[in-house]
Amino acid sequence: MTGDVAVLGAGMHPWGKWGRSFVEYGTVAARAALADAGIDWRQVQSVVGADTVRCGYPGYVAGATFAQALGWQGARVTSVYAACASGAQAINTARSQILAGIADVVLVVGADSAPKGFFAPAGGDRPDDPDWVRFRVLGATNPAYFGLYARRRIALYGDSPEDFALVKVKNAAAGALNPNARYRKTVSAEDVAASAVVADPLRLLDICATSDGAAALVLSGMDFARRHGVSDPVRIRAVSTVTPTYPKTVLDLPDIATDSAAAVDPLPHTFRTSIARAAYEEAGIGPGDLSLAEVYDLSTALELEWYEDIGLCGTGEGAKLVREGATALGGRIPVNVSGGLASFGEAVPAQAIAQVCELTWQLRGAAGDRQVPGARTGMTANQGLFGHGSAVVAVR
């Protein structure tokens, strides 16, 4: 049995701040993915929904919510939540069902209606919840952590705010070519430098927004794809959902302390590095095989770190890649040719699914003006709160 599953369809609802229900966004994306796949809704045997915790009870049971919105037809439903890695968990669940022979065709959907400003923890007093504690005790919003990550890079590797700005300039140029992106305007390094400081050294244009949006995929077994007339589909070859390993010595959201390394030597690889390593090992490839990557650019500085974590360069060399133009459209290894979160913003359950949508279009050669020539292999990478790894390898 092959470990590959076919991506028959990909669809999105454009991202922005639309002020409507996440169910509407997800239904639009799902119908677009079904149309792209040439699949009738009644052929879908399973629906996996990536949950949103901000949208009330229907958001907690997203699989059933989307199945009902599309019209009850008896499909299995599953709902998953893994913070920003929810979409990858949903893809992994769908893939597992297909490889186990439980379903031939699975619809994966993630959608969100995001609040204005930064994400805050759910309401109520929960002193045993680290996400609640870091806001209430430290006043540590997500951008505060992003600023700490950036300061760490400056201290360890000599990165500069000017390096961070180059990431935004690159991603904005790609996002301007993407009809699904929220921000479709190019920016200059001077624009970034002129924007307001949010969490020193990061400015407003260094940090992604919160957004409404949705993404969906139709996945199937390879035999079904051939019977459906698709002989050479984009294929998902690996999904990594690993967790950290003790000791975890680099501070991550939402933690306010690290594991002690006083008695235990730090591991040679960080958590984020392990996410990519697991995906590479399962897919039987390495960083040198990638045509492109989509990574989780919560901030411009964090994108540079992902370059290193997925093996595009050595530790501390991320800024060198962006200075050389290696990760821009037309560069040696383009990263975030969708425009990334810099151009989309965060719609949490949809993010990892949207990354795979971009890989699908790129590997089909259907990405239009942002197409990476000859794209054959791509990787996505992001990370959810509380140790949720997320990486997907797609090939054609």
Mean pLDDT of the chain: 95
pTM over 0.75: yes
User: What average pLDDT score do residues 71-100 get?
Assistant: 97
Strands 292-295 and 377-384 turn out to be: parallel
On whether the CB atoms of residues 217 and 356 are closer than 8 A, the answer is: yes
pLDDT digits (tens, 9 = 90+) for 321-374: 999 999 999 999 999 999 999 999 999 999 999 999 999 999 999 999 999 999
Q: Using the predicted structure, report yes or no on whether residue 122 has a pLDDT greater than 90.
A: no
**Distance linking the first and last C-alpha atoms of the chain:** 18
Nearest to 78 by CA among 89, 266, 20: 89
On whether the CB atoms of residues 206 and 300 are closer than 8 A, the answer is: yes
Q: Using the predicted structure, report yes or no on whether residue 2 has a pLDDT greater than 70.
A: no
On whether the CB atoms of residues 396 and 365 are closer than 8 A, the answer is: no
d(CA 149, CA 211): 23
Nearest to 213 by CA among 18, 7, 362: 18
Q: Using the predicted structure, report yes or no on whether residue 1 has a pLDDT greater than 50.
A: no
pLDDT at 295: 98
Nearest to 42 by CA among 128, 84, 105: 105
